[in-house]
Amino acid sequence: MISDHELGCIPLTGLKKTIIRGGLETLYFSAAHHLMRPFVAGAGVILTLHHVRPPRLDRFQPNRLLEVTPSFLEDVVRWLQRSGLDLISLDEMYRRFTEGLVSEGRRRFVCITIDDGYRDTLDWAYPMLKKHQVPFTVYIPTSFPDRLGELWWLVLEGVIARSKRVSLLIDNKEQSFECATAGDKRHLYEQLYGYLRGLKTEEELRRVIRDLAGRYQVDIAAFCDELCMTWDELTTLAADPLVTIGAHTVNHVMLAKVLEKSARSEMEMSRAVIEASLGVRPAHLSYPVGDPTSAGPREFRIAAELGFKTAVTTRPGVIFREHVKHLTALPRVSLNGEHQQMRYARVLVSGAATAMWNGFRRVDAA
Ligand SMILES: [Zn+2]
């Protein structure tokens, strides 16, 4: 077994998760998030979701942070409505920005966004949001409905789930890892995920994943079929005025890890393919993965040059008036499946947690 250090990775370890949870708890129970409100609440929040589906019992669920249950999301929606926040579409947020209506003194807004176009968006999130008349945005990587997508984080999960030992080439050296128990599997997933995310190019990452999929007979294409909406299903969703369809590149690539012309065509092509398939031209974009290693100033500039009204990252933060100058570098607040408690949602939406994580800096577009 090689160490984290040799792999050069920064996995989200149990310890780090505990610290995050501890911070949210402290803020909640000290009621500090109420006192901090005037300084940190901002004008609104864009929420990030991925899967919305009933819980599963498997012991090895390394991607669980990417899913919340329909009932948790419904609790959040009810609470947001009760609290008097405006649940609005991204177009409405953009209108408020352009008309100078986004400011700290006004009623706060919330935009709900769901990345990747999983079928559970249609099966679970949509009926609930429709019931409450809540607008939302779904960001589509077009290779997913085209059934050519590589959901590499799930391929990695699949390889580890079905194996007692995993071998792969790391720096041209064959390395082997034991993963018989659920604990070993979780540990190995974190190590390899960190290693893959640390690779310099998207191409290297895909090469490792295809190699693993081949060795352990995991069918990469099957994930799209099983989990992602078809164009027909997307057509149904897009027909509802509550739904905004946004672009999320073609191949779900970390844009900062590809050449500029590829980054540009990934954004441009995804918009063109969605327009051709659904008859709506996306005005909003979400950067895949969306952290600073996958979207930075170059991507923010390209998205603006291509005429996207807004583009969202996964950098944590709420929306301030100052973001009017950075509409293609917007932060979001993720509803994390590991923290499905209303008290965490309250602290996150209050802006207090993200303000502390960001050292009280309002805009991070560098
Ligand atoms: Zn995504």
DSSP assignment string, 91-106: HHHHHHHHTT---TTS
Ligand 1 centroid distance, CA of 116 (Å): 5
Are 156 and 204 within 8 A, CB to CB? no
d(CA 99, CA 107): 15
pTM value? 0.90
Are 201 and 258 within 8 A, CB to CB? yes
> Is 80 exceeded by the pLDDT of residue 10?
no
Determine the pLDDT at residue 114.
Answer: 98
Ligand 1 centroid distance, CA of 156 (Å): 16
Instruction: Work out the pLDDT band at 14, boundaries 50, 70, 90.
Output: low
Ligand 1 centroid distance, CA of 248 (Å): 7
Residue 45's H or E segment, with its range, is strand 44-49
Instruction: Work out the pLDDT band at 3, boundaries 50, 70, 90.
Output: very low
> 38: which residues sit within 8 A by CB, 6+ positions away?
104
Ligand 1 centroid distance, CA of 272 (Å): 18
d(CA 96, CA 52): 29
d(CA 204, CA 194): 14
| Across 22-35, average pLDDT | 69
Are 316 and 354 within 8 A, CB to CB? yes
> Is 50 exceeded by the pLDDT of residue 190?
yes
CA distances from 25 to 130, 295, 321, 335 (A): 32, 30, 28, 15
Are 313 and 355 within 8 A, CB to CB? no
Instruction: Work out the pLDDT band at 59, boundaries 50, 70, 90.
Output: confident
Ligand 1 centroid distance, CA of 289 (Å): 6
> Is 70 exceeded by the pLDDT of residue 274?
yes
Q: What percent of the chain has pLDDT over 90?
A: 74
Ligand 1 centroid distance, CA of 117 (Å): 9
Instruction: Work out the pLDDT band at 6, boundaries 50, 70, 90.
Output: very low
Q: In the block, which residue shows the tokens 């991507």?
A: 299
Is 37 or 100 the better-scoring residue by pLDDT?
100
Q: What is the pLDDT of residues 275-308, one digit of tens each?
A: 999 999 999 999 999 999 999 999 999 999 999 9
Ligand 1 centroid distance, CA of 288 (Å): 5
Ligand 1 centroid distance, CA of 99 (Å): 30
Q: In the block, which residue shows the tokens 């895949």?
A: 288
Residue 274's H or E segment, with its range, is helix 260-278
Are 19 and 297 within 8 A, CB to CB? no
Determine the pLDDT at residue 300.
Answer: 98
Ligand 1 centroid distance, CA of 141 (Å): 7
Ligand 1 centroid distance, CA of 115 (Å): 5
CA distances from 235 to 151, 243, 251, 361 (A): 22, 11, 20, 40
Ligand 1 centroid distance, CA of 52 (Å): 14
Q: What is the pLDDT of residues 101-121, one digit of tens each?
A: 988 888 999 999 999 999 999
| Across 177-206, average pLDDT | 94
